[in-house]
């Protein structure tokens, strides 16, 4: 088994035969794929296709019925894997702790694990907030922030961990197009700057094709295609094409 250096910037992720059912309904139907170190990997699919469930398995929030998720060859369910590898997740709802200020939220990992003295934590928090373009909001409560700001605070909180693997669950949902583009730019920039492996789950095709090194399309719990954006575009699977080609420009085609 590969022993990871604490300074290593990224980890590899192997998903092997992953299956999960809820109340007899199979949500994930035996998924197999690999995410390479440092890669920006996007998992795309329509609502209800099992994307978020998959992401929760990758970070160990769900236990699979069958199969496994390997982080650098170690099962995510094995004891101590979260101690050996630094992982972070940006939730769809941002999941900021509403009882804490923005600064306390961002510095929570360092405070709770007592990794740095308070002054150092304050400096790191300010630095991370600046990195996501939110200087000066540290004293605000999450309820005082807009949806886009919350997302960026959640990203700052994830960055404090200095993650080797960072997961984004629908990072642009509920955001207007301008903010969505900004968040997309942030995700790409942070992937290049930090070198961390990034996995993004989204149904936003523009975001996916704009930032991904590779894309996987998840439809009804099965992976239909995994490849570079060009390879995915060229995929001949009818369901994949239907998902990729769906658009709003139907007004002129409606017969009076």
Interface residues toward another protein, by CB under 8 A: 56, 59-61, 82-83, 87-89, 91, 93, 95-99, 108-109, 112-114, 157, 161
Beta carbon of residue 90, minimum distance to another protein (angstroms, whole number): 9
Termini Cα distance of the chain: 66
Cβ proximity to another protein: between 15 and 76 the closer is 76
- Of 136, 142, 141, 197, the C-alpha closest to 167 is 197
Cβ proximity to another protein: between 5 and 99 the closer is 99
Q: Residue ranges of the alpha helices (H) in 95-195?
A: 102-106, 108-113, 118-131, 147-160, 177-194
- Of 252, 254, 222, 209, the C-alpha closest to 42 is 209
CA 23/CA 239 separation, integer angstroms:
26
Beta carbon of residue 82, minimum distance to another protein (angstroms, whole number): 5
Q: What is the chain's alpha carbon radius of gyration, rounded to the nearest angstrom?
A: 19
Cβ proximity to another protein: between 47 and 99 the closer is 99
Beta carbon of residue 165, minimum distance to another protein (angstroms, whole number): 10
Beta carbon of residue 35, minimum distance to another protein (angstroms, whole number): 17
With a CB cutoff of 8 Å and minimum separation 6, the contacts of 218 are: 31, 43, 44, 45, 49, 50, 51, 54, 224
Cβ proximity to another protein: between 91 and 243 the closer is 91
Give Dmax (Cα) for the chain: 70
Cβ proximity to another protein: between 97 and 234 the closer is 97
Beta carbon of residue 18, minimum distance to another protein (angstroms, whole number): 18
Cβ proximity to another protein: between 59 and 215 the closer is 59
Beta carbon of residue 118, minimum distance to another protein (angstroms, whole number): 12
């Amino acid at each position: 088994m590969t022993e990871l250096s604490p300074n290593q910037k990224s980890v590899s992720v192997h998903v092997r035969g992953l299956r999960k059912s809820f109340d007899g309904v199979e949500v994930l139907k035996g998924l197999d794929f690999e995410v390479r170190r440092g890669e920006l990997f996007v998992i795309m699919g329509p609502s209800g296709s099992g994307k978020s469930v998959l992401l929760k398995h990758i970070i160990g929030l769900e236990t699979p019925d069958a199969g496994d998720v390997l982080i650098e060859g170690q099962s995510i369910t094995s004891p101590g894997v979260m101690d050996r590898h630094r992982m972070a997740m940006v939730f769809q709802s941002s999941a900021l702790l509403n009882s804490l200020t923005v600064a306390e939220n961002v510095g929570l990992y360092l405070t709770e694990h007592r990794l740095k003295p308070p002054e150092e934590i304050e400096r790191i928090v300010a630095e991370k907030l600046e990195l996501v373009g939110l200087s000066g909001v540290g004293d605000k409560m999450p309820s005082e922030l807009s949806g886009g700001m919350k997302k960026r605070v959640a990203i700052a909180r994830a960055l404090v961990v200095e993650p080797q693997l960072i997961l984004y669950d629908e990072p642009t949902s509920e955001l207007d197009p301008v903010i969505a583009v900004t968040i997309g730019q942030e995700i790409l920039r942070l992937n290049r700057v930090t070198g961390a492996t990034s996995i993004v789950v989204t149904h936003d095709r523009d975001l996916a094709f704009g930032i991904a090194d590779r894309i996987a399309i998840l439809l009804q719990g099965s992976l239909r295609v995994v490849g570079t954006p060009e390879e995915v575009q060229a995929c001949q699977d009818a369901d994949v094409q239907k998902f990729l080609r769906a658009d709003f420009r139907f007004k002129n085609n409606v017969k009076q």
